[in-house]
Amino acid sequence: MLNQPISDEVTRRAQRLGKACHPVVAERQADELARYARLTSACDALESFIGIRSPADEDVFDLLAQRRGQIADVLAQANLEAFQQEAEPGIYLAIPYFAGCSDKQPVWLVNRTLRRITYIRPSWYAFVACTVIEPNKKLRINEYSMGGDGNFVSNRRFVLLVEGERGEWCVSISKRAGYLWHEHLRGLHLLKMVKSL
């Protein structure tokens, strides 16, 4: 008798999650979304018994949460890539996110322009990296911690060479990789040049 309401809840959760995803991701990753919904419902049920459940069963919860996190990482990256393909021209800092994803996520510098750009370094570093990013390509430049970096608004500054002009480019990212306050950005944060160097 309880199976039907649980089944309905999982189905509704999967539908809600699908609406939060890029349409292509919702279609292609429908099975993963359904798995994620089932695991999340199971985790929610176990979380409601904190203080009552036996410590001997903690490994079960940890395994379910770990599996959910792995699926969330796949969905986070797939969503970011899909929305990235539709982004307006510009230079972006991109950070994937999906509820329940791993704490550490890659930070990408995305070139959505028609010209090559050269990533020189973060503005606070002394050493030079000098990596060319071709049009519509990206470069992994760092990691973002949802728990650490995500506790405050952070300003990220980089030295880039764009069409022969060396400049400092900046972007502000709100909590949880921008998804807490600016979910509509979908993890894509547009960099702006703040000064020539």
Confidence of residue 47 (pLDDT cuts 50, 70, 90): confident
Identify residue 75 by its one-letter amino acid code.
L
Task: State whether 51 and 92 are in the same domain.
Answer: no
Whether 146 contacts 103, CB under 8 Å = yes
| Residue of higher predicted confidence among 152 and 36 | 36
Tell me what percent of the residues of the chain surpass a pLDDT of 70: 91
CATH of the domain at 183: 2.60.40
- Residues 115, 182 share a domain: yes
Q: pLDDT of 109-148, one tens digit each?
A: 999 999 999 999 887 665 667 899 999 999 999 898 887 7
Residues 93 and 47 in one domain: no
Instruction: Show the domain range for 144.
Output: 88-196
- What's the pLDDT band for 25 if we cut at 50, 70, 90? very high
Tell whether 28 and 75 lie within a shared domain: yes
The closest of 112, 78, 69 to 93, measured between CA atoms, is: 112
Among 84, 111, 140, the domain-final residue is: 84
Residue 71 has what pLDDT? 96
Of 69 and 130, more confident: 69
Q: Looking at the structure, do residues 173 and 95 belong to the same domain, yes or no? A: yes
**Position 1 confidence tier, pLDDT thresholds 50, 70, 90:** very low
Are 55 and 116 in the same domain? Answer: no
For the chain, how many structural domains are there in total?
A: 2
Please report which confidence band the pLDDT of residue 93 belongs to, taking 50, 70 and 90 as the band edges.
very high
**Residue 83: strand, helix, or coil:** helix
User: How far, in Å, CA of 35 to CA of 5, rounded?
Assistant: 17
47 and 103 both lie in a single domain = no
